[in-house]
Structure 1
Amino acid sequence: MTDESLDGAGLDGTWTDESEWARFDVEPEAEESTGPPPQPVLAVVGRPNVGKSTLVNRLLGRREAVVQDTPGVTRDRVAYDALWNGRRFTVVDTGGWEPDAKGLQASVAAQAELAMNTADAVLLVVDAQVGATATEEAVARVLRRSERPVLVAANKVDDERTMAEVHSLWSLGLGEPLPVSGLHGRGSGDLLDRVLESFPATPREKIGGSGGPRRVALVGKPNVGKSSLLNRLTGEERSVVHEAAGTTVDPVDSLVELDGELWRFVDTAGLRKRVKTASGTEYYASLRTKSAIEAAEVAIVLIDGSQPLSEQDLRVITMVVEAGRALVIAYNKWDLVDDDRRRQLEKEIDRELVRVRWAERVNVSARTGRAVAKLAPTLRTALESWDTRIPTGRLNGWLSDLVAANPPPVRSGKQPKILFATQAHTRPPTLVLFTTGFLEAGYRRFIERKFRETFGFVGSPVRISVRVRESKKARTGRG
């Protein structure tokens, strides 16, 4: 009997009469994605603490950028999708721009300059209550030499008393200053209209790939080298790297070409605390990281191989598994791992990561570039498993032999029977078992382990759902 003829059959090969089972039998074909059309890009720049992120949230109509009453919260350039009057565009929020910045602030300034160079239009945000400072005048000199349209947003205009300060911004030589209030929304609609008018007919650079690049979340605790790895992959200073832990706050999107294929990477803030106990910037950064994992298809959990596995490492892995995403575990700083640490790490993995033995593993060094080329094959393997569906007939034939050799344990004096099984979903692969009774958690894990031994599914979580058939007595009483 072929796999096709078994589709819809029970473990004993007989046809079932449960209509609920049949609806899980066929998974619809995924629609082919043609990719998003090109979108114009608006770079939002300015010195620290002029309210850029608050204004960005106002333009987006939702809270996306991390905002706190502390200068320098935004450090990387961060891209968000925006929509106004039926037209989509991309808003790039940047770190504060200081022309004479040093150290960390110099890296932030470089990110802002790169955003200006790759944008279709630039929005310079100035604190109208302070007026034009030497920093704004230096930025204006740079922007006047650029070939991009430039708009000046006079922010924090909360009432008419500030309007006199707005007119003084004509001195920047960038055209009419537009009064707005990122906090209260005043003038935001007029500003958005002017933004759309400033965009060219054809965007300079397409942010999304036409083939729909697979989405990869780069996650891990602070200071494990996520931004360094992203910079190594992109070949540019895409993310700010500094010896201070927790430099990245917002997720940062990057298109990365690995092994001839385009991927969309998201570098995220390091998770220090649980979301419930985090506060301020850490709270919102944790939410962004969680959202980045849920929006991704596969996650690379970066772990410092030179240090013992920590609770934060395990928690990040748990977040990825609970989100149902494909998983690659990359042990970074391998150039610092000696033989003693390698043996110790193997023991830690056997003890702490026993539940994710299926995850792909690769030992890398973002600093030296060691084994970074191995990431693409492991990502492909994990995603292939994540997308795979086993035909129902083949699945039931395998399960019949497994149950015959290893029946479920007796519960309350009765032995449950598995009547039928199907893989209801992919992304992640989800098995639904229709039974006459409850299956112990240990037996479900046994089924998953044997399922992996037979069908593979390396790099992808597998979920098992049990549906217990009602007894005839219960059905009769209900009727």
Structure 2
Amino acid sequence: MTDMNDFADDTLILPGDGTWADESEWELDDLEDDLDDEDRPLPVLAVVGRPNVGKSTLVNRIIGRREAVVEDVPGVTRDRISYEAEWNTKRFMVQDTGGWEPTAKGLQQSITRQAEHAMRTADAILVVVDATVGSTTTDEAVARILRRSKAPVILVANKVDNAKLDSDVAELWNLGLGEPFPISATHGRGTADLLDTVIGILPEKPRDPNQFTGGPRRIALVGKPNVGKSSLLNKLTGDERSVVHDVAGTTVDPVDSLVELGGKVWRFVDTAGLRKRVITASGAEYYASLRTRSAIESAEVVVVLIDSSQPITEQDLRIITMVEETGRAMVIAFNKWDLVDEDRRLQLDKEIDRDLVRIQWAQRVNISAHTGRAVQKLVPVMDTALNSWDTRVPTGRLNTWLRETISATPPPMRGGRLPRVLFATQATTRPPTFVLFTTGFLEAGYRRFLERKLRESFGFEGSPVRVNVRVREKRARKS
């Protein structure tokens, strides 16, 4: 059998009839240029600064919605949390960070390390200073680090709510980061001009497409209220890290802990239980739901806990769907296994076959957070899910597989014509996303077939896989 690697990069497969087409008919670069923005990794803008200067307020202003949690006390934001933003048709990721402090200890030291990682890996950096206070020794320490940054840096003077305060901005020149940009994140003053400047310095492609590298792998524990998330975290840490009570909704804020399992350190985040109608929540419950969603989006693997002693509920399925849509690797942990008898096990098997058939790829494990039964089994399934989430299939190997698969099972006819799959590429990982360039539309059933065959051939246990289609019409030959 001929291997794809035996051919030059300007040769494309036409799997429908086994023939070949050279670059005079189809150009590889042109096909790859057809990747939609949604398939490409986005450049990253990090928002950094000392505590309580308004970083999260600015992030909310940039993304145009209130997702980053804002309170009048410092230290609310702890981790690097990423949000997708768009300005003047350019899409990018905004990374909110905790307050940076040079002499931090304990938890604050971990927060500072997360902020420093954002500075090292971002494609552009906004360093926020409170203009009403002026530059502090902490601001000066941040500036010394950022003056050595390889990424472009914009100095943002926040809380300039009116023109009378513009004179207070001038003294920030002494930070050595260039001209300070006066804004009011709360009122929106100057933020449009700031964003115009930001998109002018952001590259088209990220410097580091893998935004989650560095530090312990992040695991979010999610599920409906009172399913045992806090009990599991306490069992893993061997400490009463989270408050546990029979009353549902005890946990409000995400609680994160470093846990050593299987010879490596993991960062587990306990989250508030997600209720049926988050959009109708108010007050503390509303903010708890926002933080839970942010924890899912900033995680690498999400462990969805389900009470195995009770029937699988519609809310369980909603949570699974939400995790799947975020593109995170997933493990389904059936908790409270110590309460399951033989009859319940048989019934649960039927519920899994009926309700979880569309996510058969998700890793499953039966545990008891109360007794500690099988909690160590989480390690291999999380490892498998992460490896799948990070997997990249070489283009040559992918197209060899594609030719063999489509030759054995061609796509269904559409409008009397057989669509051809010209070329395939893996656009990104996390989750693995594949783009097929075709001469015609591929039915949803056939795309699911290709996804299933991808899993059989390359693994991807525990990770969602996305298969997108780009239809290209054949161009006229050049004269």
Q: TM-score range by the shorter chain?
A: 0.5 to 0.7
Taking a change above 3 Å as real, the CA distance of residues 218 and 88 of structure 1, as seen in their structure-2 partners, is: same
One-letter amino acid of the counterpart of residue 366, structure 1: A
Q: For residues 117 and 326 of structure 1, do their structure 2 counterparts lie closer, same or farther at Cα, with a shift above 3 Å needed?
A: closer
Find the counterpart in structure 1 of residue 100 from structure 2: 88
1:78/1:303 CA distance change after superposition, 3 Å: farther
Residue in 1 that maps onto 2:231: 228
Q: What are structure 1's unaligned runs of at least 5 residues?
A: 31-35, 43-55, 69-73, 93-115, 121-186, 198-208
Structure 2 CA distance for partners of 1:376 and 1:229, relative to 1, 3 Å: same
Deviation at 1:66, TM superposition (A): 7.4
Instruction: Give 1:437's aligned residue.
Output: 440
> In the alignment, which of 20, 23, 39 is matched to residue 30 of structure 2?
20
Q: CA deviation at 1:117?
A: 8.3
Instruction: Give per-residue Cα distances to partners, 1:308-363, cap 9 Å, x unaligned.
Output: 11111111111111111111111100101111111111111111111110111110
Greater CA radius of gyration, 1 or 2? 1
> What is the Cα deviation at residue 282 of structure 1?
2.5
* TM-score of the superposed pair, with normalisation by structure 2: 0.63
Give the Å deviation of 1:300: 0.6
Structure 2 residue 342 is matched with structure 1 residue 339: yes
| Counterparts of residues 130-279 of structure 1 (less than 5 Å) | 212-279=215-282
Structure 1 residues 66 and 88, CA gap change in structure 2 (3 angstroms): closer
The CA deviation at 1:472 is 4.4
Alignment CA distance shift 1:448-1:87 (3 Å) = closer
Q: Distance in 2 between matches of 1:242 and 1:310?
A: 21
Contact 2:231–2:369, Cα closer than 8 Å, also in 1? yes
Could you give the per-residue CA deviations for residues 362-417 of structure 1, whole angstroms, max 9, x where no partner exists?
10110111111111111110010111111222222222222122211122222211
Provide the C-alpha distance between the structure 1 equivalents of 2:361 and 2:80, rounded to a whole number of angstroms: 35
1:351 aligns with 2:354: yes
Query: Displacement of 1:21 after TM fit?
Result: 2.8
- Match of 1:276, SS state, is helix
- The match for 1:381 among 381, 384, 390 is 384
Cα distance in structure 1, aligned partners of 2:290 and 2:56: 18
1:287 aligns with 290
User: Residue deviations 1:413-453, cap 9 Å, x none?
Assistant: 22211111121211111111111111111111111111111
Counterpart for residue 4 of structure 1 = 5
- Supply the RMSD in Å over aligned alpha carbons: 4.0
Match of 1:316 in 2: 319
The answer to whether the 8 A contact 1:57-1:65 is kept is no
| Structure 1 residue 471 displacement after superposition | 4.8
Instruction: Tell me the equivalent position of 1:420.
Output: 423
Contact 1:301–1:329 (CA under 8 A) maintained in structure 2: yes
Contact 1:41–1:119, Cα closer than 8 Å, also in 2:
no
3-state SS in 2 of match to 1:88:
coil
May I ask how many residue pairs the two structures share in their alignment? 345
Would you say the 8 A contact 2:223–2:316 is kept in 1?
yes
Contact kept? 1:227, 1:240, Cα under 8 Å: yes
225-234 or 270-279: bigger deviation: 270-279
Q: State the partner residue of 1:365.
A: 368
| Structure 2 unaligned regions, length at least 5 | 36-40, 61-67, 82-94, 110-129, 141-211
- Counterparts of 1:48-127 in structure 2 under 5 Å? 61=57, 64-65=68-69, 79=78, 88-89=100-101
Report the 3-state secondary structure (helix = DSSP H, G, I; strand = E; otherwise coil) of the residue aligned with 1:282.
Answer: helix
1:42-75 residue CA offsets vs partner (Å, 9 max, x unmatched): 9xxxxxxxxxxxxx6968656855779xxxxx9x
Partners of 1:40 and 1:190 in 2: how far apart?
Answer: 13
Alpha-carbon distance change, 437 to 90 in structure 1, aligned in 2, over 3 angstroms: farther
1:24 CA displacement: 8.8
**Structure 1 residues 3 and 89: CA distance shift in structure 2, 3 A:** farther
User: For the structure 1 residues 458 and 224, does the alpha-carbon distance in structure 2 shift closer, same or farther, using more than 3 Å as the test?
Assistant: same
- Supply the distance in 2 between the matched residues of 1:210 and 1:358 (Cα, whole angstroms): 24
| Superimposed CA distance per residue, residues 161-189 of structure 1 (whole angstroms, 9 cap, x where no aligned partner) | xxxxxxxxxxxxxxxxxxxxxxxxxx996
Identity %: 61
Q: Equivalent of 1:463, from 460, 463, 466?
A: 466
Q: CA deviation at 1:190?
A: 5.4
Deviation at 1:5, TM superposition (A): 2.9
**Counterparts of 2:4 and 2:311 in 1: how far apart (Å)?**
47
Give me the whole-angstrom Cα distance separating, in 2, the residues matched to 1:91 and 1:251: 25
Asked if the contact 1:217/1:293 (under 8 Å) is kept, the reply is yes
Q: Distance in 2 between matches of 1:294 and 1:81?
A: 11
Instruction: Write the distance in 2 (CA, Å) between the matches of 1:364 and 1:427.
Output: 27
Structure 2 SS opposite 1:447: helix
Q: 1:297: which partner in 2?
A: 300
Seen in structure 2, the aligned counterparts of structure 1 residues 459 and 81 have a Cα distance that, compared at 3 Å, is closer
2:396 paired residue among 382, 389, 393:
393
Separation (CA, whole Å) in 2 of partners of 1:393 and 1:315: 38
